[in-house]
Amino acid sequence: MRKIIFVTGNPHKVREASDILSHVGITVEQNNCGYPELQEDELEPIARFGARWAADKLNREVMVDDSGLFIEALRGFPGPYSAYVFDTLGNARILKLMEGETNRRAIFRCVIGYCRPGGEPYLFSGEVTGEIADEMRGSGGFGYDPIFEVGGATFGEMEEEEKNRLSHRYAALSEFARWLKEKY
């Protein structure tokens, strides 16, 4: 089996990627070396830079994931700063920011960056549209899952398999898997 290094500190992301990519003969191995994150308003330049940097540093083919929650009423906040905002504020304070808002529309976006050493990065993206719930619901998933609602249920209330079929990361990883299957 072919092996791709997933540069991330998040084991939940690695499990999702392993489940999806194993169907096309790819083994995913986690490396937590990190990479310098650009301060950008969009996910694509961050994933592009991170994939190239990590591939050259590790001298291996790698993938990175840059994801964000874009809340319409907050003009796209937290967007590419989602991990930092979650670690700093958490779901309770995001819900506090949303008090009194009638527009609860939000989009979860994911960009997978893939690169080989010395090569140009390729990007694969996915998104899912939903709403910010009025309260935290469910104990499944991670991050913003208990407040991101799709079809009446939060990602935190869904079984992992159901969430993964709907998720932004699943869409991006599926696109990446199709490309890998055709290319290699």
pLDDT of residue 139 exceeding 90, the answer is yes
65 assigned to active site = no
> Tokens for 129?
């549209």
The answer to whether the beta carbons of residues 172 and 150 sit under 8 Å apart is: no
pLDDT of residue 126 exceeding 90, the answer is yes
Cβ atoms within 10 Å of 110's Cβ, excluding its own: 25
The CA dihedral of 147, 127, 6, 145, to the nearest 10 degrees, is: 10
Query: What fold is seen in the domain 2-183?
Result: Maf protein (3.90.950)
- Going from N- to C-terminal start, the domains of the chain cover 2-183
Q: What percent of the chain has pLDDT over 90?
A: 80
Which one has a higher pLDDT value, 113 or 22? 113
Contacts of 21 (CB under 8 A, 6+ apart): 4, 27, 28, 173, 176, 177, 180
Q: Look up residue 151 and give its DSSP letter.
A: T
Instruction: Name the band, by pLDDT with cuts 50, 70 and 90, for residue 37.
Output: confident
Instruction: Name the band, by pLDDT with cuts 50, 70 and 90, for residue 165.
Output: confident
As a whole number of angstroms, the distance between CA 53 and CA 177 comes to 22
In the set 19, 41, 65, 66, the catalytic residue is: 66
Instruction: Name the band, by pLDDT with cuts 50, 70 and 90, for residue 20.
Output: confident
